[in-house]
Amino acid sequence: MSATSTDEIPRFYPIGTPGKPWEEADCKAWKEQAKVQRSYQKEVVDKLQLVKDEAKYKDQDWFEIKHYGALSHDPSRYPLVAIQSKEFDIDKPFVLVTGGVHGYETSGVQGAIAFCQSEIAANKYAKSLNIVVCPCVSPWAYEHIQRWQADLSDPNRSFQPDDESEQTEESKALMTHIQHIQQEVMTQKGEKKESPFWKCHLDLHETTDTDVTEFRPAKRAKAGLPPQEGGIPDGFYLVADSTNPQLEFQKAVIDKVKQVTHIAPADDAGTILDEPVVEEGIIRVPARELGLCGGVTLGEYTTTTEVYPDSPKATAETCNQAQVAAIIGGLDYILSQS
């Protein structure tokens, strides 16, 4: 009898038939039960405008708010918004910060916004770097506190520039935007920037208890697979690109975050999520091959952050500040190498 026989798999998720991939009716049922739980407009779009107004009042108005698209199923509700340097200077390094690729990850979104609001962003980094911050890549998932987007796809497996069939609206819009920036800079300046164009990309993520109670079971059920046990690392850690790990950069980020929150320890096998820990709080995966947002730029220095807001040692604000610290640690390292 097959290991995925419906006779062998108990019902562990309320939607679908155990052992069978979801059909259209199952997907519809999942989407119908997903409810709006917070406001993208108030917590992201309006907040960015307040940050902009505050910066202008303080004479620290280094950025513009750029709409780089909208989700087609409700474009007025879900504009895709970036904060970026008002003018790009080809002689300065280009930096990308992304958050909310999985929309439920609150600290990735709010940490990115908090960085833009910080005085150090205006007084230090904006003067030396070209900065692009896309704080909430998946706004529908942010509002619904979901890992998938509205079409039941995982945006963080969809950054496949050579395969449109694997792309989501969210990933396609972001890839188009960063490509447009590259083309715009080259056209305006009439110069060729050294490769890689992007000096750095920090992709801000978090993992919550709902990964175990909801998101992972839903993923397995949708694929017709049996449930799978797994835990959540307690603390902050980084996922480096195994094709370009840049461990000194990763260590600089970890060292800065240590000042804010605890670093996730390796398990008894020396791993985090079954990946070998190569330095404290650092694992490696092939980001581009897996379609991860962290691999989209092919930048010189890239990393994906992970933090655990449900830890008894952490708070929501601690996690927001850990994300800010990660950005600062990464950017300080870049400036030290320039």
Report pLDDT digits (tens) over 289-307: 999 999 999 999 999 999 9
In the chain, % of residues over pLDDT 70: 96
Give a yes or no: residue 40 inside a domain. Answer: no
Render pLDDT for 246-259 as a digit per residue (tens, 0 to 9): 999 999 999 999 99
Q: Which of 247, 250, 241 is nearest to 288 (CA)?
A: 241
Q: What is the pLDDT of residues 61-97, one digit of tens each?
A: 899 999 999 999 999 999 999 999 999 999 999 999 9
C-alpha to C-alpha distance for 135 and 202, rounded to whole angstroms: 11
Give me the mean pLDDT over the 236-263 stretch.
Answer: 98
CATH of residue 295's domain is 3.40.630.10
Which pLDDT value is given to residue 230? 87
pLDDT tens, 8-21? 889 999 999 999 99
The pLDDT, as a whole number, for residue 85 is 96
**CA 331 to CA 183: how far, in whole Å?**
24
Average pLDDT over residues 147-170: 95
Domain with 181 in it: 24-33+86-101+146-337
Q: Which tens digits make up the pLDDT trace of 214-227? A: 999 999 999 999 99
Number of domains in the chain: 1
If we measure between CA atoms, which residue out of 214, 248, 249, 253 comes closest to residue 236?
Answer: 253
C-beta neighbour count of 273 within 10 angstroms:
16
Q: In whole angstroms, give the CA distance from residue 204 to residue 132.
A: 14
What integer pLDDT is reported at residue 194 of this predicted model? Answer: 64
Domain-located, residue 279: yes
Residue 18 inside a domain? The answer is no
pLDDT beyond 60 at 6: no
Give the residue-averaged pLDDT of 52-63. Answer: 90
Pick the closest to residue 162 from 180, 150, 179, 149 (CA basis): 179
In a domain, 332, yes or no: yes
Q: Which helix (H) or strand (E) holds 329?
A: helix 316-337
Q: Is the pLDDT of residue 191 over 90?
A: no
Residue at 52 is within a domain: no
Is 167 among the domain residues?
Answer: yes
The answer to whether residues 328 and 124 touch, using CB atoms and an 8 Å cutoff, is no
Q: How far apart are CA 251 and CA 263, in angstroms?
A: 12
Q: Are 257 and 322 in contact (CB under 8 A)?
A: yes
How far apart are the C-alpha atoms of 277 and 265, rounded to whole Å? 9
pTM for the whole structure: 0.95
Q: Whole-angstrom Cα distance, residue 180 to residue 46?
A: 25
DSSP annotation of 279: B
Residue 57: what pLDDT? 86
